[in-house]
Amino acid sequence: MKKEIILLFMINVLSAIGYSLVAPLFPLIAMKRGVAEYIIGFIFSCFAISNVITIPMTPTIIKIYGRINLMYFSLILEVSIFYL
């Protein structure tokens, strides 16, 4: 059980590191490809808005479904969105 938690934690940390590496470069790459600035701003604001909505609900969801199940669900959701 403890090994699962450590493994899931490391996967989430690596995912966050991946986002923090891409985020500063994304506007530059998108602008080179002709994406409008307001679209880039919209993408970043969607990320922030989703955090504002989901972060207050997280403790309640953890109590209902459990920490491990929530981490599994979030990883599956992230991978499925990545492949879209």
Question: Are 72 and 8 contacting, i.e. CB atoms less than 8 angstroms apart?
Answer: yes
Tally of domains within the chain: 1
For residue 80, the SS3 value is helix
pLDDT attached to residue 15: 75
Task: Read off φ and ψ for residue 4, nearest 5 degrees.
Answer: -65, -45
Domain containing 64: what range?
Answer: 2-82
Asked whether the whole model's pTM tops 0.75, one would answer no
pLDDT attached to residue 4: 80
pLDDT tens for the chain, residues 1 to 84? 788 888 878 877 877 787 777 788 888 899 999 999 999 889 888 888 988 888 888 889 889 999 888 888 888 888 888 787
pLDDT attached to residue 64: 93
Question: Are 75 and 10 contacting, i.e. CB atoms less than 8 angstroms apart?
Answer: no
For residue 35, the SS3 value is coil
pLDDT attached to residue 35: 92
Residue 66's region, left for phi above 0, alpha for psi from -120 to 50, else beta, is: left
